[in-house]
């Protein structure tokens, strides 16, 4: 019988976490949990309701009145905020460029981590984010830290935008990604950081399937 492993995948923006996590979860019939979508959902709600992103108490209060559900579907993971589908809305540039400011607050993180730990407690999950291996599931059976150069990551987002017919500026993307990485890495609470026992994979010149294969190898060794 297959063990119900907990697989933690962390790394900076556009390193390929969600793409690879979804494929690995699919191969193992595990649940995929995108923790970034939870921070994005709260950010979207705060922006929509004019809550000051630097007002920690207001954000804590807002989160306590907020439900966020992640539902697997044929077309990928759907995100429901207070029962409404916000899957597309939370990817808007306004959310992307504000979310790191929301994610610095310790009260917000504490509550998010609590919710994430509940989702992961049965095992058989692939969870991606920034602090999964370090704080959310520090005893995860498998921990992966994905990396890639800023240029490569911006290029990936750029191609993604163009393929969807969205306007895209490569230099602007580089700046945005670097800024977000800086805030995520330098915050006091649970910064973006490789867990000591995580396997680091530099994906700069790897294909998606090469990254997936490396993670599946780690899974086979545990199985
Ligand atoms: O997909 P992308 O890398 O653009 O970002 P994401 O995974 O959706 O995460 C958005 C933001 O949420 C990150 O830049 C972090 O500021 C925050 N985040 C976090 O602080 N901790 C997590 N476990 C996941 C996301
Ligand atoms: O979740 P995260 O922000 O880390 O990255 P993502 O949303 O999975 O986006 C990564 C983008 O790079 C996607 O367009 C992938 O198709 C592409 N890509 C990848 O994920 N891994 C590679 N090794 C090469 C390209």
Pocket of ligand 2 from Cβ distances under 6 Å? 11, 13-19, 156, 160, 203, 206-208, 211
Q: According to the model, what pLDDT value does residue 29 have?
A: 94
Query: Does the reported pTM lie above 0.95?
Result: yes
Per-residue pLDDT tens digits for 36-76? 999 999 999 999 999 999 999 999 999 999 999 999 888 88
Range 115-144 burial, b when 16+ CB lie within 10 A, else e: bbeeebeeebbbbbbbbbbbbbbeebbbbb
- Residue identifier of the C-alpha nearest atom 12 of ligand 1: 36
Q: According to the model, what pLDDT value does residue 223 have?
A: 74
Strands 31-34 and 125-129: parallel
Q: According to the model, what pLDDT value does residue 2 have?
A: 65
In the reported structure, the alpha carbon of residue 216 is separated from the centroid of ligand 1 by a whole-number distance in angstroms of: 24
Choice from 126, 154, 156, 160 to test ligand 2 binding pocket (greatest atom count within 8 A of CB): 156
CA of 127, nearest ligand number:
1
Q: What is the three-state SS of 53-116?
A: CCCHHHHHHHHHCCCEEEEEECCEEEEEECCEECCCHHHCHHHHCCHHHHCCCHHHHHHHHHHH
CA of 35, nearest ligand number:
1
- ipTM score assigned to the predicted complex: 0.97
**Closest atom of ligand 2 relative to the 159 alpha carbon:** 14
The per-residue pLDDT string of the chain (223 residues; one tens digit each, 9 = 90 and over) reads: 568 999 999 999 999 999 999 999 999 999 999 999 999 999 999 999 999 999 999 999 999 999 999 998 888 899 999 999 999 999 999 999 999 999 999 999 999 999 999 999 999 999 999 999 999 999 999 999 999 999 999 999 999 999 999 999 999 999 999 999 999 999 999 999 999 999 999 999 999 999 999 999 999 998 7
Intra-chain end-to-end CA distance of the chain, in Å = 9
């Amino acid at each position: 019988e297959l063990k119900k492993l907990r697989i933690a995948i962390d790394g900076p923006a556009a390193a390929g976490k969600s793409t690879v996590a979804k494929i690995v979860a699919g191969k193992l019939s595990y649940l995929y949990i995108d923790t970034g979508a939870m921070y994005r959902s709260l950010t979207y709600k705060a922006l929509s309701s004019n809550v000051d992103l630097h007002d920690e108490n207001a954000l804590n209060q807002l989160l306590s009145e907020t439900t966020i559900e992640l539902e697997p579907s044929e077309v990928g993971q759907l995100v429901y905020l207070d029962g409404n589908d916000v899957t597309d809305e939370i990817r808007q540039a306004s959310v992307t460029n504000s979310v790191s400011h929301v994610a610095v607050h310790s009260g917000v993180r504490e509550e998010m981590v609590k919710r994430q730990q509940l989702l992961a407690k049965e095992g058989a999950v692939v969870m991606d984010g920034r602090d999964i291996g370090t704080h959310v599931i520090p005893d995860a059976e498998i921990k992966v830290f994905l990396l890639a150069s800023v240029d490569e990551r911006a290029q990936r987002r750029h191609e993604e935008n163009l393929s969807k017919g969205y306007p895209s500026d490569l230099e602007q993307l580089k700046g945005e990604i670097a800024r977000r990485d800086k805030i995520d890495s330098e915050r006091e609470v649970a910064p973006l950081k490789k867990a000591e026992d995580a396997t680091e994979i530099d994906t700069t010149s790897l294909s998606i399937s090469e990254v997936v294969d490396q993670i599946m190898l780690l899974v086979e060794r545990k199985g």
